[in-house]
Structure 1
Amino acid sequence: MNTLDNLKLPTRQMEPITVENLLINFTTEFHRIWDNAGSKSKPGSFWRPTPAPDLLPGYFPLGDLVVSGRDSVNEKRVVAVVREGDPQNAGTGKGQALSRPDDYQRVWSDTGSRANGDCSVWRPIPPEGYVALGLVCSNDNSKPSFNAVRCVRADLVVASSASALIWSDLGSGAKHDFSTWSIKPPTAPAGEIYFAPGTFIGANGYSRPMASNTAYALRMPIPLQVETPPTAPVLSGQDASAALTPSRVTQVVRLPWFAVSDPEMTSLAQLQASPFYHLERADRYLLLGQGQNSTDTHQAFKWKANRTQSYEMLRKFTRNTGIDIGSQWSSAMSASRSAITCSARLGDSFCNTESAPYEWVNSAESEVIALVARKRFAAVYLMQSDYRLLRADGSVVEGHLSYTDMDSLHLSDYPIEPEPAKEAQTEPEKQTPPEPDNEPEKQPVPAPRTELQAPAESPVITDTAP
């Protein structure tokens, strides 16, 4: 396992997360604003994200970072930074994704704390239609620069809540009590990720703030690529296996590094080596059973169908990857490494959970019954989906999933003996007396022909029973 504590980001520009006209990226570079050295409160420090202009040109912080302790956080922590994207990607009439704050409101100052340096904490006041995602600090009592932070358009965020206490001035002797808290995103719906960018919220006191109008998280859809599904088997003879087609990758979701727990890498190593992961779903038809009805009446055939999914397989995959199939999952990374926390959920269609999410833990054998028409050879197939998680370099993260879709039963049949063709019957041509010589000669009219089709067979019926 890679246990590197210090890790430099690559010397190339990183690919951003794009949400309409908002670009989201990440930095591990910070500037120390203030620490509480000299104070009797527990060690704490405030840091300003400083994205490198050569790697992340035009990116701004969403707020400052607060940590418990005074050690340098450079190349040890990671937070999100943002940039204005292509305006054509915004919805009609939505406007720019980002805006400078209109003003600042002071939340706290360390007056009376006896710290070696001065500090004040400010809440950005956003323009109408925008929200502030974090607080901003100053090493004196003056307002921060208006370029120290950007506010985000309200439809690109989601209201969140306070999570864990990060640091407080308890015991410092400061004139006003103050505590800082991490942000917890709400439960994400299917197909979306909500994530806190690494900023913090503050409270005038030591109790957890309850108001949800001061905490926000970013939101993003989980990109889904859909390909053509495999063709359903069609019998052309009495070889049921010959009708099977190869497995095909039919759906792929793209997950950011902070939504995945990789057993081979730390979270910072993921950001460098695999900022995005691909979770692939490959579908294939499997032969369930085949039968030949040589009789002159319909005949029922029964087969046992085994499911590949199981509770044990599902839990092992979640332990290895942090990803939960069919329900919401949270960030698995330690807060000591990243202030980014998320709530994510895959789409129901991708997970085969549209109709029966409990089927992922149903490993019970089923009985399939097919009613085969007379003089027919029939085969029953069903779909199996195989999932695997790939890093950016194409290597596979340990663990996989398989799912047998019992709603995908497909039957194909083939005639054992073709129906004998019936010859068309025609009436003998009638003799007519010759026309008089003074009448014009008429052309003979051909006799009508009738083609008879073989009677249609009754439809084949399939059913399952546990």
Structure 2
Amino acid sequence: MESIRYSNLLINFTSEFSPLWNDKGAGSDNPVSFWRPVPSSDFLNGFFPLGDLAISGYGNVNKQRIVAVVSNAAGSQQDKALSAPVEYELVWKDSGSNAHSNGAIWRPIPPEGYVALGLVCGIGHDKPSRNAIRCVRANLVIASYISDLIWNDQGSGAHADFSAWNITPPGAASGEAYFSAGTFVGANSYTQPATHVAAYSLRIQLPQTVNTAPPAPALPGYRQPSPFEAAHITHTCEIPWFTVKDPNLRPIEQLRISPTYRLERTDRYVLVGFGHNKTSVNQTFKWTATRGENGGKSETLAQTTAIEVGGEWQFNLWGSSIKFSAKLSKSLTHTETSSSGWTSSTAFEIAAAVPANKAVAVYLIQSDYRLLRKNGTQVATDVSYTDGDSVYWSEYPPTKDCQVVCTPLPPTR
């Protein structure tokens, strides 16, 4: 798949791993094995892991788990996105256990201006190679939380206690996604640490294309116009595969078939009301309109794909060691200007003061959203939203003499 680029950092994914160490024979209450991500495919030449993978059990994780790998973008010589660690600090070793082989956990020490995104497992008690992983420039990542327990060495007999924990990113900012690389952090106790020096997640922007808005309708005469103007695709947003729960594809298939998804927003003007003042004095026309979501389809989209159009979303993707949070741009979802929120539909009154012998047509913009796979097939259902904060009117003859006022209706009991 094509790499995701954030500044001069390239991000891709691998489902291939090489075994490092497991605790067979140690007598731990729970089994564990540690694996090194392998960017072995030709198109991943020059990519590195950000840390190692820790899993419960001894099963083969190849083609069963997915983690992130990274590379410097070509031509970025100054302020490189990645750097090798300057040293490793020993966190824990299995001395005293009855494991069939020796194992140790190390913390990469990053150079100034860079951070490590997880811990590394050594083969035996030897220090890992500095080329085993890469550290990332600090302004390309986001400080993260320590979440669920992966493993601890209780019952192993090791001289020191150790526990391994997953990393979870904070809630994403508008137009961005934050995601863990699939690495782990560890502590010399069985208690969940509040913070950790290597608890960071990657961050990316959700690329958005904004096209020309549909032309505003012009009232050509005194006849009532069509209720719907022509629709135009005005916004397109690319969403990475790991933020979408595809009902028809497993994560490993998503990575191969649809590494990105496309959310399209199609806008059109919808007629709210038409009034023709055939008298010789000013006349007021009134209509009731609704702002917000139409039909409750965003709940269906969220249940099917997990995507929350009007807010931040996250879920546990089976087969992926990646944890994420994502949020669509406010300009894409109207939440930059909306006064009522996405799922709450509210009624309001539009009143137009129309001069003598004039006609007026009042419109709102309706936005329809649909989610598409890489091959153009649609996922789930369309979602529709009416922007009640942008009222447009057209007059005939066109002089802009009409006065249009919007008033919230009192809530129904």
Q: TM-score range by the shorter chain?
A: over 0.9
Distance 1:372 1:179 in 2: 73
Q: How does 1:394-405 map to 2 (within 5 A)?
A: 394-405=376-387
**CA displacement, residues 424-462 of structure 1 (integer Å, 9 cap, x when unaligned):** xxxxxxxxxxxxxxxxxxxxxxxxxxxxxxxx7844323
Equivalent in the alignment of 1:219: 203
Percentage identity across paired residues of the two chains: 47
2:344 counterpart letter in structure 1: N
Aligned residue in 2 for 1:5 = none
Could you tell me which residue of structure 2 aligns to residue 461 of structure 1? 404
Q: Does 1:81 align with 2:65?
A: no
What residue is the counterpart of 1:62 in the other structure? 50
Deviation of 1:270 (Å): 1.1
1:341 and 1:357 map into 2 onto residues whose CA distance is 31
Q: What letter matches 1:60 in structure 2? A: F
- Equivalent pair of 2:38/2:49 in contact (CA under 8 Å): yes
Gaps spanning 5+ residues in structure 1: where?
1-13, 417-455
User: Could you tell me whether the CA contact under 8 Å between 1:168 and 1:206 is conserved in 2?
Assistant: yes
Which residue matches 1:48?
Answer: 36
User: Judging changes above 3 Å, is the alpha-carbon distance between structure 1 residues 287 and 459 closer, same or farther for their aligned structure 2 residues?
Assistant: closer
8 Å Cα contact 1:236-1:414 kept in structure 2? yes
Distance between the aligned counterparts of 1:270 and 1:294, measured in 2? 60
The 5-angstrom pairing of residues 22-421 of structure 1 reads 22-41=9-28, 42-87=30-75, 95-241=79-225, 245-307=229-291, 309=293, 312-334=296-318, 337-356=319-338, 358-415=340-397
Q: Which amino acid aligns with 1:346?
A: L
Distance in 1 between the 2:302 and 2:186 partners?
34
SS in 2 for 1:55: helix
Q: Please state whether the residue corresponding to 1:251 is helix, strand or coil.
A: strand
Superposition deviation, residue 263 in structure 1? 1.2
Whole-Å separation in 2 of the counterparts to 1:206 and 1:53: 38
Contact 1:373 1:457 in 2 (8 A): no
Shift of 1:244: 5.7
The answer to whether the 8 A contact 2:347-2:408 is kept is: no
Q: 2: CA distance between counterparts of 1:406 and 1:307?
A: 4
Q: TM-score, with normalisation over the residues of structure 1?
A: 0.84
Higher strand share: 2
Distance 2:366 2:400 in 1: 30
Contact 2:119 2:198 in 1 (8 A): no
- In the alignment, is the contact (CA less than 8 A) between 1:311 and 1:362 conserved in 2? no
Post-superposition CA distance 1:257-290 (Å, at most 9, x none)? 1111111112222111111001111100011111
Question: Separation in 1 of the partners of 2:349 and 2:227?
Answer: 23
Per-residue deviation, 1:197? 0.5
- Hey, what's the Cα distance between the residues in 2 that align with 1:243 and 1:67? 58
The 10-residue stretch of structure 1 (117-126 or 207-216) with the greater mean CA deviation from structure 2: 207-216
The question of whether the paired residues in 1 share the 8 Å contact of 2:47 and 2:70 is answered with yes
C-alpha distance after superposition, 1:170-227 (max 9, x if no partner): 1100011101000010111111111001000010011111124330001111111100
Question: CA 1:235 to 1:243, structure 2 compared with 1: closer, same or farther past 3 Å?
Answer: farther
Structure 2 length-normalised TM? 0.95
Residue 63 of structure 1, CA deviation: 0.4
Using a 3 Å threshold, how does the CA distance of structure 1 residues 61 and 244 change in structure 2: closer, same or farther? Answer: same
Matched residue count: 408
C-alpha distance in 2 between matches for 1:20 and 1:54: 23
Distance 2:241 2:100 in 1: 38
- Secondary structure in 2 aligned to 1:319? helix
